[in-house]
Amino acid sequence: MKDQAEQLRHIVARLRQKDMDRGNARIITVTSGKGGVGKTSLTANLGICLVQMGYKVIIIDGDFGLANIDLMLGIVSRYGLKELILGQMELNQVILEGPSGIKFISGGSGMRELINLGSHQLDNFLKKIDELNDMADIVLIDTGAGATDNVVKMALAAHEIVLVVTPEPTSITDAYALTKIITSIRKDVDLRLIINRVRSAAEAEDILDKFTKTVRNFLGVNVGTLGSVYDDIHVSRSIREQVPYLVSYPNCRASRQVEYIAKRLIEQDTGDGRNNQGLVSYFRRFLDFFQI
Ligand SMILES: Nc1ncnc2c1ncn2[C@@H]1O[C@H](COP(=O)(O)OP(=O)(O)OP(=O)(O)O)[C@@H](O)[C@H]1O
Ligand SMILES: [Mg+2]
Q: How far is the CA of 45 from the centre of ligand 2 (A)?
A: 13
User: In the structure, which protein residues have their CB atom closer than 6 angstroms to any atom of ligand 1?
Assistant: 32, 35-41, 63, 66, 144-145, 196-197, 229, 231-232, 235-236, 239, 254
- For ligand 1, mutation pick of 165, 196, 238, 239 (most atoms within 8 Å of CB): 239
| Domain ranges, ordered by start, for the chain | 25-108+138-273
As a CATH number, domain 25-108+138-273 is 3.40.50.300
213-251 residue pLDDT tens: 999 999 999 999 999 999 999 999 999 999 999 999 999
What percentage of the chain has pLDDT greater than the value 70? 87
Q: In what order do the strands lie in the sheet with 26-31?
A: 96-97, 103-105, 57-62, 138-143, 26-31, 160-165, 190-198, 224-230
The conformational region for residue 133 under phi > 0 = left, psi -120 to 50 = alpha, else beta, is: alpha
121-146 residue pLDDT tens: 888 888 888 888 888 999 999 998 77
The closest ligand to the CA of 166 turns out to be: 1
Inter-residue contact 287 to 8 (CB < 8 Å): yes
The closest residue, in CA terms, to atom 2 on ligand 1 is 231
